[in-house]
């Protein structure tokens, strides 16, 4: 038995031509087909469990129904949610995801781009991350040259040539920190990831903006940390605990760093939210597990919107590149739950001297 029936098999069985089969199965209006013929074809297809071969279809139509996704290999559930959003919107468009991880030319493995181009993907969702190698930029250029529609997620440094989707990290960080200030916190600190990635830099900037707006001097003295890596974060967290006066509220650049902050604090007998408020970023499963207030970037929606734009671009390649800054929002949990009234009264007492 042949593995798959083809359109000729269906045609033979229905007693019609391959052409007719194609018209019926693709619902072509061009040439009307008599209802009986139509039904015969449909029956034959069902009997033979016929499934159109999308490779052949793709070759001819010049549209494969494959969307390439380049995704960082890091186990962060942000990416998993992003993928779900991307897939959702792809399926709605009759497409499917060809998933690839970046792996440099150095590693001896073929780069993801080669695969994406060889499979003639209709478009690419490029999820950016910090990376020393310059391969990424070269890949991007090849995509642009080959005129493969492309949208970048999580970076906007190439906004001049492709569509970019980023979160409103600066604004949302500023808002979160402003919230801490409004809740009468005086001594804040930021557990940062430095400039390792644009998201880290943006979150740091938001923190600085809010602090400056509140009239705080020498803001940078309240910032520690250069990387998202847990070990480095743990060290920076310890430094924060040694600040004088000790911060009563800490804004971390992501949930992993917030978790390190919490661990470091517990080790010296400090608890959250009793002794300090803490805000993380990403609203990952870690935030839920720790009952941690965190910024949710709504990655599913980012994924959906990115694909939506990609599809627009596939239809009209001449569209000018746009950058969209997606709205995040703060999810409040126990780590910032110490009642404002409590603190306000304490503050009043201690500020009586003023």
Partner DNA sequence: CTGAAAGCGCTTACAG
Query: Measured from the CB of residue 144, what is the shortest distance to DNA in angstroms?
Result: 20
Question: Cβ–Cβ contacts within 10 Å for residue 296, how many?
Answer: 18
Query: Measured from the CB of residue 119, what is the shortest distance to DNA in angstroms?
Result: 11
Query: Measured from the CB of residue 29, what is the shortest distance to DNA in angstroms?
Result: 11
Residue 178 makes CB contacts below 8 A (sequence gap 6+) with 210, 213, 214
Please check whether residue 255 is in contact with residue 282, taking contact to mean a CB–CB distance below 8 angstroms. Answer: yes
Whichever of 118 and 349 has its CB closer to DNA, that residue is 118
Residues binding DNA: what is the number (CB under 7 A)? 29
* Secondary structure of residue 303 in the 3-state scheme: helix
Q: Applying CB under 7 A, does 39 fall inside the site for DNA? A: no
Q: Of 146, 14, 120, nearest to 57 (Cα)?
A: 120
- Radius of gyration from C-alpha coordinates of the chain: 27
Judged by beta carbon distances under 5 to 8 A according to partner kind, the member of DNA, a copy of itself, none in contact with residue 137 is none
Please check whether residue 249 is in contact with residue 187, taking contact to mean a CB–CB distance below 8 angstroms. Answer: yes
264-293 residues in contact with a copy of itself (CB under 8 A) are 284-286, 288-291
User: Among 7, 40, 76, 273, which residue sits at the site for a copy of itself (rule: CB under 8 A)?
Assistant: 76
Q: Applying CB under 7 A, does 25 fall inside the site for DNA? A: yes
Q: Of 337, 4, 350, 325, nearest to 166 (Cα)?
A: 325
Query: Measured from the CB of residue 138, what is the shortest distance to DNA in angstroms?
Result: 22
Interface segment toward a copy of itself; rule CB under 8 A; list 109-117, 158-166, 196-204, 221-229? 109-117
Interface segment toward DNA; rule CB under 7 A; list 8-16, 189-197, 233-241, 252-260? 8-16
117-176 residues in contact with a copy of itself (CB under 8 A) are 117-120, 145-147
Burial (CB < 10 A; 0-12, 13-18, 19+), residue 229, is middle
Q: How far is it, in rounded angstroms, from Cα 192 to Cα 233?
A: 8
Please check whether residue 30 is in contact with residue 22, taking contact to mean a CB–CB distance below 8 angstroms. Answer: no
Whichever of 24 and 151 has its CB closer to DNA, that residue is 24
Query: Measured from the CB of residue 205, what is the shortest distance to a copy of itself in angstroms?
Result: 25
Interface segment toward DNA; rule CB under 7 A; list 35-43, 185-193, 300-308, 311-319? 35-43
Q: Applying CB under 7 A, does 315 fall inside the site for DNA? A: no
Whichever of 10 and 310 has its CB closer to DNA, that residue is 10
Chain position carrying tokens 């992993």: 256
Measure the CA angle with vertex 79, ends 139 and 280; round to 5°.
Answer: 120
Cα torsion through 114, 117, 119, 122, rounded to 10: 150
Angle in degrees, 0-180, between the axes of helices 198-213 and 169-182, rounded to the nearest 10: 40
Q: Which residues pair with 194 in a beta bridge?
A: none
User: Among 12, 42, 57, 196, which residue sits at the site for DNA (rule: CB under 7 A)?
Assistant: 57
- The encoded tokens of residue 314 equal 């596939």
Binding stretches for DNA (CB under 7 A) = 4, 6-8, 15-20, 22-23, 25-26, 28, 31-34, 36-38, 52-53, 56-57, 59-61
Residues forming the site for a copy of itself (CB under 8 A): 3-4, 49, 51-56, 58-59, 64, 66, 69, 73-77, 79-81, 83-84, 87, 91-92, 94, 96-101, 103, 109-110, 114-115, 117-120, 145-147, 230, 255-256, 259, 262-263, 284-286, 288-291
């Amino acid at each position: 038995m042949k593995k798959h029936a083809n359109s000729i098999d269906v045609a033979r069985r229905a007693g019609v031509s391959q052409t007719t089969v194609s018209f019926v199965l693709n619902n072509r209006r061009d040439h009307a087909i008599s209802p009986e013929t139509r039904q015969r074809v449909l029956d034959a297809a069902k009997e033979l469990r016929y499934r159109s071969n999308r490779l052949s279809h793709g070759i001819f139509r010049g549209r494969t129904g494959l969307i390439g996704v380049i995704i960082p290999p890091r186990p962060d559930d942000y990416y998993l949610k992003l993928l779900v959003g991307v897939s959702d919107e792809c399926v709605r468009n009759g497409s499917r995801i060809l998933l690839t991880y970046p792996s440099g030319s150095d590693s001896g493995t073929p780069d993801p781009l080669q695969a994406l181009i060889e499979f003639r993907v209709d478009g690419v969702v490029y999820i950016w991350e910090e990376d020393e190698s310059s391969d990424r930029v070269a890949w991007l250029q090849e995509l642009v040259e080959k005129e493969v529609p492309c949208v970048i997620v999580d970076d906007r440094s190439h906004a001049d040539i492709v569509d970019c989707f980023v979160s409103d990290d600066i604004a949302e960080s500023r808002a979160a920190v402003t919230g801490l200030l409004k809740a009468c916190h005086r001594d804040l600190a930021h557990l940062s990831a430095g400039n390792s990635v644009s998201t880290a830099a943006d979150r740091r900037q938001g923190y600085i903006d809010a602090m400056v707006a509140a009239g705080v001097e020498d803001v940078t003295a309240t910032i520690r940390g250069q990387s998202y890596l847990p070990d480095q974060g743990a060290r920076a967290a310890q430094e924060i605990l040694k600040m004088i006066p000790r911060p009563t509220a800490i804004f971390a650049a992501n949930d992993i760093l917030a978790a390190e902050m919490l661990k470091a604090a517990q080790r010296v007998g400090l608890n959250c939210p009793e002794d300090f408020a803490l805000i993380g970023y990403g609203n990952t499963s870690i935030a839920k597990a720790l009952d941690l207030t965190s910024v949710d970037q709504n990655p599913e929606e980012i994924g959906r919107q990115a694909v939506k734009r990609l599809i627009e671009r596939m239809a009209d390649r001449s569209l000018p590149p746009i950058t969209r800054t997606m709205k995040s929002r703060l999810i409040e949990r126990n780590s910032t739950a110490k009642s404002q009234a409590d603190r306000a009264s304490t503050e009043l007492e201690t500020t009586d001297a003023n």
